[in-house]
Amino acid sequence: MNRYFLTDTETTGLLKDGNPDFLAQPGIVQIGVLILDQDFKEIDFFATKVNPERSNWEPEAIKTHGIQPADVEDAPTFFALFPDLARLATGATHWVGYNNPFDKKVLWHQLLRYGYEMNFPWPQQEIDVMKLANAHMAM
């Protein structure tokens, strides 16, 4: 039975390719998750701003999503949100998103920060809407 974990993040900036230091990588400032069953009916939904616990925001990121550092000062940290995210991902068969490599790498670095990288129930299959759209646009 398929279960879909749809996710999207907004971040403090872009990934720093080749830099393994999780503190140099962008933090999540907003995350949304929608869980769908095999019939694509909503099972659960979760969305919140996130305090990224860092001050190094890229100006282009703020222009893109419009979230300011002051907007997330009192938001929960990723550490506080981890149990809810893990619960939502548990049992999911598919990770669904737009540009999955970006969101998955950002999430990975957040998990590394707290030592949770081995405790996240990553869905085994993937559907990347950006790849699907690009394939159809090239036709």
24 in Cβ contact with 106 (< 8 Å): no
Percent share of the chain, pLDDT over 90 = 83
User: Measuring CA to CA, how many Å separate 13 from each of 29, 98, 124?
Assistant: 10, 16, 27
pLDDT (mean) for 107-120:
91
| Bigger pLDDT: 139 vs 43 | 43
Residue 22 banded pLDDT, cuts 50, 70, 90: confident
Question: Tokens 């949100």, residue?
Answer: 81
Per-residue model confidence as pLDDT tens digits over 33-72? 999 999 999 999 999 999 999 989 999 999 999 999 999 9
Report pTM.
Answer: 0.91
Distance CA 70, CA 33 (A): 23
DSSP for 39-73, please give it.
TS-EEEEEEEE-B-S-----HHHHHHH---GGGGT
